[in-house]
Structure 1
Amino acid sequence: MLSVALRTLRTRWVTFTGSFVALSLGVALLTVMGLALASSAAAPERGSERFAAAPVVVKGQDTLRVPTPNGDRTAPLAHPRPLSAATVAEVRKLGPVVADRSFAVRAAGAPADLVGHPWSTAAFAPYDLATGRAPRTADEVAVTGDWARPGRQLRTDRGPVRVVGTLTSRGFENAVFLTDARAAELAPEIHQLTVTADPAAVRKAVGDSAQVLTGNARRLADADPDRDSEALTAMNALFGTAGGVTAFVSVFVVASTFAFAVAQRRRGFALLRTAGATPGQIRRAVLVEALVVGTLASAAGCALGSYGAPLLAARVVEGGLAPAWFTIGEHTWPCHAAFWTGLLVSLCGAAAASWRAGRTAPTEALREAAADSRTLTPGRLLCGTALLLTAAATLALSLTGDPSDLLHRKTYISRPMLLITAAALLAPLVLRPLTRLLTCLPSAVGMLVRENTATGVRRTAALVAPVLVTVALAGSLLGATATLNHAKTTETSDRTTAAFVVTPAAAEGFDAATLRRLRAVPGTRISPTSSTAVHVLEDGVALIRSEARAAAPGGLAATTRLPLATGGLSDLDDGSIIVNEEWQRHRVGERVRVWLGDGTPRTLRVAAVMTTGTGGNGVYVTPRNAPGATVDRVDVALADGTAPDTVATALHEAIGTDGGRVLTRDAWIRATHPETNRTTRLGLFLVLGIALLYTGISVVNTTVMAASDRARDLAVLRLAGATRWQVLRLTAAEALTAVTAGALLGLLVTGVNLAGMWSALALLSVRPTVGLPWQALGATATACALLAVLSATLPAAVALRRRPVELAGVRE
């Protein structure tokens, strides 16, 4: 039997080529995702940038530390504390001090991320003058890079300046250097400074009021020192999600392909059983074939994946999904994991299908060779039912326990896989009635398509499976994000009652003079608000951060409609806080201990409680409980009878030409729509693109494999008088019917998944609107249909070039 198995590999090369392609591509995808995930586990060692040549850096405290029974819990402060005057005075006693100040600068024709510094700090990078000289007066600057030359006049949001020098770029920032005096005017607070002194003496002088940084720790004084760790977290999430989806699709398609390859050989198994082969011999023969094909295909897939991983890394860096330093490292475990996973899946897929073939009696096998009589085995029915019940039970538990869990990315990406697998396993139950419904037109072609799909359910199900996965994944993932984005936009719309929203151009927010001019606009009531954060210790060990807005209650009530569950907005004062239902303690009147954005501990009374919503219902405090926060948004309400156009003109005049933007309510809602997040969108398309490309190839692969068994059927049609065009039209109609059935099942799975999210949003007091991505679903189904039709008709056209009598004589 082993020799028979090996010879079968040569005689049925189309079937085994299809299995080889499916498995090698699946293993390649697993290898690529594994290598990318392994390479994103660590970042290269990064040294100090702006202060590489500085002796000692003193930096204000930017971390909250809360002692708990299980040790200190830490979190970054929303508003790091500046160095106090007393601390600066103590440090000055030890040696020469250079105060560092950083602030955003906006200028026409300049890089968007331009940042200002005092000239004295340029030597610590160190920066070297390439042309010109250092700035000497308040209207002179020196810039890095070559985007401006000495003598150029710049109009900035800090006033007009003239470039007098350029510095060689260091690659980590686009900087503009002003005189120390001018920098002190623009940024009076000192958050960090350099001192030439003994580090131990500096630590003794500052105590716990500041951080003393030396050596490689000086990088903590750079802008965004945690960007590498944040990039790693984002990449791990991206490649982990992509790897999970890829593993699911790969395993699903490979197991389905190998099972179909074995099912295609029922006629051969029937002859072997008639000739005296035992069930065990047939099973061993199939497993040997799967072992040979699986070993070769898995090895080829590992080699292909090792070649493709660097290409993926280059693409994600180019697309901005990964930092410039990201490359694929030297890792071997992803190749081992992918190889053995592919081999195991191929053996399991072949073994499951061969079990039924081996236990069938010879006469029954001969009868089944003509038509599919039992396509849904008890094991398949049991597994499909179990997965369906599991999906229903977990959905019910989430809806009754924590509906917000269904809105998390990991949940709405992983949950559809249960339902997709269950639908694919149980698909044969509905394929016959579904295909009969799709081919109910009274015509000869419709009758033939109906009967062919009904008698060849295994063949139809093999093509339906990848289409189902493709449509259901695209619909569920894109539909979930669209539904969630619609819900967030609905929340913003319901909450915003202001006629205008004014946002500043500078990161530092609006200054006091601008706010006075905005308040002076007649016929309006404004509500200046600030972004901040509060921390709370839950269960005595978990330090939880909540994003917050600081606002005066009166102005907030005039411009905002908060989704309150209990309490009232009028009860908010300097001794209270508005929380949401996600907080552990959220009863009106309760007192909670919190840490404010600058780390100040406070005990506040709960004035009101908001509904949970989509997770964006944060916390509200008064400006007094947001030390260090600057106004970054001003909502403007109109008095009765006030003309909006007049107010808009006055608001523009109040903020000045470069002071910010004045948006109407509708424009503000559009500008804050979640779909503007390019990185999230590209990451999702990467996940879907890899999975859908593989399933598209699987559609072609399965169709070609199925076409290899249709030669005798085509010959019978030709001998019965059908023309070549009629046969090709019939072949195309059968492929379209299978694709349509798969698309409808995928659409059904999508609907069920989105119905779960819709229910969760309704329970969270959000007006939900299901966002079906019709364009993506249509494009996906059309692509599958084109691939299936071409893959079915091209082999048929080639086969029809032979005489019908020759085709009728084709044997396995």
Structure 2
Amino acid sequence: MFRTALRNVLAHKARLLMTTLAVMLGVAFVSGTLVFTSTLSDAYAKGAAKGFEGVDVAVRPGGDGGDDLRGPSDLPRELLDRLGRVPGVASATGAVSGFAALADKDGGLVGEGWSTQGGNYDAGPDGKKEDPRYDLRDGRAPLRSGEIALDAKTAGRTGYGVGDTVRMSVNGPVREEKVVGVFDTDDGSVAAGGTLVLFDTATAQELFSRPGHYSEIVLTADDGVSQRELEKRVEEVLPEQAEATTGRKLADEQARMIEQGMEGMRTGLLVFAGIALFVGIFIIANTFTMLVAQRTRELALLRAVGASRRQVTRSVLVEALVVGAVAALVGLLAGVGIGAGMRSLMGSLGATVPDGPLIVAPSTVVASLVVGIAVTVVAAWLPARRAAKVPPVAAMGGVHAPATPRGLLVRNTIGALLAGAGTALVLYASGIGMDDGKLPMSAGAGLLVIGVFVLTPLLSRPVVGAAAPVLRVFGVSGRLARQNAVRNPRRTAATAAALMIGLTLITGMTVIAGSVQKGIDKLATAAIKADYTVSMANFLPLSPEVEQTLAKEEQVTALSPLRNSPSRIDGDYEPLTGVDGEALDDLLELDFTQGTIEGLGGEKVIVDAATAKRHGWKAGSSFDVVYEDGERGELTVSGVYEGNEMIRGIMLDTATLDPHLEQATSMQVMVKTADGASDAVKASLEKALGDNPAILVQDKKDLSEDIAQMFTMMLNMLYGLLAMAVIVAVLGVVNTLAMSVFERSQEIGMLRAIGLDRRGVKRMVRLESLVISLFGGVLGIGLGVFFGWAAGELISGSMPTYELVLPWGRMGVFLTLAALVGVLAALWPARRAARLNVLEAIKTE
């Protein structure tokens, strides 16, 4: 039986090709994802470890600040000097770091915004010391204000060199600096496409910390002193507000963080690989079902000469095992190529990926082979079981017994129960909110998709039948195509289901993304009366100088900062938002349920309804607060408003909050102008701020476009990933049609013999493919809209402005693509059917 199974595989190479391709694509996606993420993780981890090579012990701020909520203070110069005298310390270097945005020669922001960093080069008191963290390649170290050094990769990308003057910003105001040096670094953010700008220590302290203080002290050990031993010696002289960590531990922590960062990407990509493999299951099951049906006589003869049911089942499963093993092996090799290609693609898109070897871990090889073989064997199990039930008497004829009415009844009953349970779960989840509804929503969606798949044979007849009036236009070919599509509803259902799953996901995600975008757009329009919001490009705090500059502009009629400050209320952490109480009513549209905005000022605050409910407050309630500097006070609620995703929390006047802040920085500044929002006004404000690449001046339209751009990018990524599932579905349609043509060779020969020409045969196969694809498309779009609506009901609990948006245009495009899939998938099978030799086809058994 084993030899028979191998001969069957070799005998049906062409018919198994599409199945092999489907499994191969899924496995290639899995192995490519694992290779790509492992390679990136390894490269970043090694880069991080290399970056800590010169660090034996790092001392950082830490400890409990008591009532002071500002966090631990930076490390003073006295501590640096004290640590430099600890026995076993070869050198002690003070480090300061923070955000520093660099403009390129065209005025654009260099780097990725979040990874544009600044730091200090420690040249010592005499300016002649070499900082062990950085290797100067060209020029010298920055020694005074107005001088900087650039990392070599940034210098190469921007074309800046020693002697050039560059524009940059740290917290808002534009600075012009002269490049005096270019250095090499192993900093991970630079390797990932970011920038690193170094100042002299005094300037860096002024910009990122305070004079005479450091954010970190790096120690190197004398020869023969281990990192752990040096750490113990250092801990003996450290104050409570500082903590020491070995360089090895820091490197391990960095590697762990990188691995966790890769985990999200890996999981996301593997989900789509799983979808492609899930779609492939239908193709595999369909293929083996048809192979079993075509070999009824052969299998019956095996039973007649003594083969047991178990042997027949094993025979079919061995075929699946061989196909799965070949597909998994080829998929693994293709995946290695995909992993390398994805790394190169990231580089071509501007993301700098650290150099390093391609990592093909043993776990990747095992996972790829196991997944490919397991998916194929599991998908072939049901056809194998069916094959074992072929009675020996069937050897007398060539027709396998069709599905019994009882079997279809059982299938339809199970499908109805699953679909009903899934629908009930989805409807239940849509009414209980985001926190509790995610799990039942996911479970219900899965049950509903499976239930609809089980019911597709039942659904295929009425849906395909609805296309009859259109198909009649094509004459005999159209009528035959409809009859062929409903002749074997299980096969039609399995073929359409593959396409259905892909379109369900695509449609559902499109509905959700469009609806959320519309909700946020309404939120911004309804909540903000200001013409512009001004913020940093990476959304770090703005310098007070920005607010002061804007206040001097004649066209500005109202202005308010939004300052964030931590506080402690009733023993719990609670953020405070500082605003200009007099101007706020001109800048925000707040819906008050109690009190008004008029009372905002002094010790009176306004609170969003959710926060008020959590604390049991109402208009007139008073509460104690501990500010970020540890000072205590008492505030009174003058109004309660309905908060939303953009505006919420406890708002108080900046005159009350600012005395408790170390720096009066703002997360953003809201601006109202005399002439309203226009390109000219926006350009005027940007010019007043020095045409700073680090500062965003945005009106409501810009905010909406930012949101739209984010969702568009997300959807494009999802469309690209789901294209894999659609490609697999196309292979399924091609495979089904090709095998169906082979199965109906005699029938096609008879049609040719009684007058149906080659063009008519081609048209028949194409129309059959078109009907099956549109059937899958209609089911997928219908399910996608339902899931999009249900998910929207879940989201609307936390976003009151959420509004269901049905993207009719895109759904039309999806249906057209489903039709195109049908037409393209039928090209080869239709050509093959038309070229059948009439006499040989008639003699086919």
What's the TM-score bracket when you normalise by the shorter of the two chains? Answer: 0.7 to 0.9
Residue 353 and residue 219 in structure 1: after superposition, are their counterparts in 2 closer, same or farther (change >3 A)?
A: closer
Residue 794 and residue 28 in structure 1: after superposition, are their counterparts in 2 closer, same or farther (change >3 A)?
A: same
Equivalent position to 1:143, from 139, 150, 160:
150
Residue 667 and residue 612 in structure 1: after superposition, are their counterparts in 2 closer, same or farther (change >3 A)?
A: closer
Distance between the aligned counterparts of 1:583 and 1:259, measured in 2?
59
Is residue 262 from structure 1 mapped to residue 289 from structure 2 by the alignment?
yes
Matched-pair contact (CA < 8 Å) for 2:524–2:646 = no
Instruction: Say what the alpha-carbon RMSD is for the aligned residues.
Output: 4.8
Residue 345 and residue 136 in structure 1: after superposition, are their counterparts in 2 closer, same or farther (change >3 A)?
A: closer
Aligned pairs (5 A) from 1:175-194: 175-189=196-210, 190-194=213-217
The answer for the alignment partner of 1:719 in structure 2 is 753
Amino acid at match of 1:186: L
Matched-pair contact (CA < 8 Å) for 1:469–1:695 = no
Moved more, 479-488 or 336-345: 336-345
The answer for the alignment partner of 1:760 in structure 2 is 794
Is residue 634 from structure 1 mapped to residue 669 from structure 2 by the alignment?
yes
**Displacement of 1:744 after TM fit?**
0.6
The answer for the alignment partner of 1:70 in structure 2 is none
Equivalent position to 1:403, from 434, 442, 449:
434
Matched-pair contact (CA < 8 Å) for 2:612–2:640 = no
**Displacement of 1:437 after TM fit?**
0.8
The answer for the alignment partner of 1:60 in structure 2 is 61
Equivalent position to 2:408, from 377, 380, 383:
377
What whole-Å deviation, never above 9, does each CA across 1:507-538 have from its counterpart, x for those lacking one? 7643333322323445511121145677999x
Equivalent position to 2:589, from 542, 561, 564:
561
Amino acid at match of 1:154: V
Equivalent position to 1:551, from 560, 564, 579:
579
Q: Give the alignment's TM-score, normalised by structure 1.
A: 0.80
What whole-Å deviation, never above 9, does each CA across 1:154-210 have from its counterpart, x for those lacking one? 344453333333334546544433344444443452342537798667545542212
Distance between the aligned counterparts of 1:58 and 1:681, measured in 2?
44
**Displacement of 1:279 after TM fit?**
14
Is residue 238 from structure 1 mapped to residue 265 from structure 2 by the alignment?
yes
Matched-pair contact (CA < 8 Å) for 1:143–1:177 = yes
Equivalent position to 2:310, from 278, 284, 287:
284
Amino acid at match of 1:524: T
Q: Secondary structure at the match of 2:529?
A: coil
Distance between the aligned counterparts of 2:689 and 2:339, measured in 1?
44
**Displacement of 1:249 after TM fit?**
3.9
What whole-Å deviation, never above 9, does each CA across 1:475-523 have from its counterpart, x for those lacking one? 2234333333333333233222211222346876433333223234455
The answer for the alignment partner of 1:656 in structure 2 is 690
Distance between the aligned counterparts of 1:585 and 1:596, measured in 2?
20
Residue 300 and residue 205 in structure 1: after superposition, are their counterparts in 2 closer, same or farther (change >3 A)?
A: same
**Displacement of 1:434 after TM fit?**
0.8
Distance between the aligned counterparts of 1:279 and 1:759, measured in 2?
62
Q: Secondary structure at the match of 1:588?
A: coil
**Displacement of 1:716 after TM fit?**
1.9
Aligned pairs (5 A) from 1:565-714: 578=607, 581=610, 585=614, 587-588=616-617, 619-622=649-652, 624=657, 630-638=665-673, 648=682, 651-652=685-686, 654-658=688-692, 663=697, 665-673=699-707, 675-676=709-710, 680=714, 684-685=718-719, 687-714=721-748
Distance between the aligned counterparts of 1:709 and 1:800, measured in 2?
14
The answer for the alignment partner of 1:73 in structure 2 is none
The answer for the alignment partner of 2:96 in structure 1 is 101
Amino acid at match of 1:718: R
**Displacement of 1:358 after TM fit?**
5.6
Residue 215 and residue 575 in structure 1: after superposition, are their counterparts in 2 closer, same or farther (change >3 A)?
A: farther
**Displacement of 1:635 after TM fit?**
0.8
Amino acid at match of 1:238: M
Q: Secondary structure at the match of 1:716?
A: helix
Q: Which runs of 5+ in 2 are unaligned?
A: 86-91, 124-128, 221-229
Residue 446 and residue 396 in structure 1: after superposition, are their counterparts in 2 closer, same or farther (change >3 A)?
A: same
Q: Secondary structure at the match of 2:743?
A: coil
Matched-pair contact (CA < 8 Å) for 1:26–1:250 = yes
Amino acid at match of 1:299: A
Q: Secondary structure at the match of 2:826?
A: helix
Distance between the aligned counterparts of 1:276 and 1:664, measured in 2?
76
Moved more, 627-636 or 503-512: 503-512
What whole-Å deviation, never above 9, does each CA across 1:340-362 have from its counterpart, x for those lacking one? 55545444444434555665776
Distance between the aligned counterparts of 2:443 and 2:631, measured in 1?
40
The answer for the alignment partner of 1:394 in structure 2 is 425
Distance between the aligned counterparts of 2:691 and 2:550, measured in 1?
14
Distance between the aligned counterparts of 2:789 and 2:761, measured in 1?
42
Is residue 797 from structure 1 mapped to residue 824 from structure 2 by the alignment?
no
**Displacement of 1:240 after TM fit?**
1.8
Amino acid at match of 1:701: N
Distance between the aligned counterparts of 1:366 and 1:230, measured in 2?
66
Residue 526 and residue 253 in structure 1: after superposition, are their counterparts in 2 closer, same or farther (change >3 A)?
A: same
Residue 515 and residue 292 in structure 1: after superposition, are their counterparts in 2 closer, same or farther (change >3 A)?
A: same
**Displacement of 1:808 after TM fit?**
1.1
Moved more, 332-341 or 245-254: 332-341
What whole-Å deviation, never above 9, does each CA across 1:52-104 have from its counterpart, x for those lacking one? 5467644333x88999xxxxxxxxx99754327xx544554565876533341
What whole-Å deviation, never above 9, does each CA across 1:249-299 have from its counterpart, x for those lacking one? 4244325532453255446537866x7948996853552233222221222
Matched-pair contact (CA < 8 Å) for 2:433–2:797 = no
The answer for the alignment partner of 2:448 in structure 1 is 419
Aligned pairs (5 A) from 1:159-308: 159-170=175-186, 172=188, 173=190, 174-189=195-210, 190-194=213-217, 203-216=235-248, 229-263=256-290, 265-266=292-293, 268-269=295-296, 277=303, 283-284=309-310, 286-308=312-334
Q: Give the alignment's TM-score, normalised by structure 2.
A: 0.77
**Displacement of 1:806 after TM fit?**
1.8
Distance between the aligned counterparts of 2:326 and 2:637, measured in 1?
62
Matched-pair contact (CA < 8 Å) for 1:531–1:550 = yes
Equivalent position to 2:135, from 113, 128, 136:
128
**Displacement of 1:810 after TM fit?**
1.0
Distance between the aligned counterparts of 1:311 and 1:755, measured in 2?
39
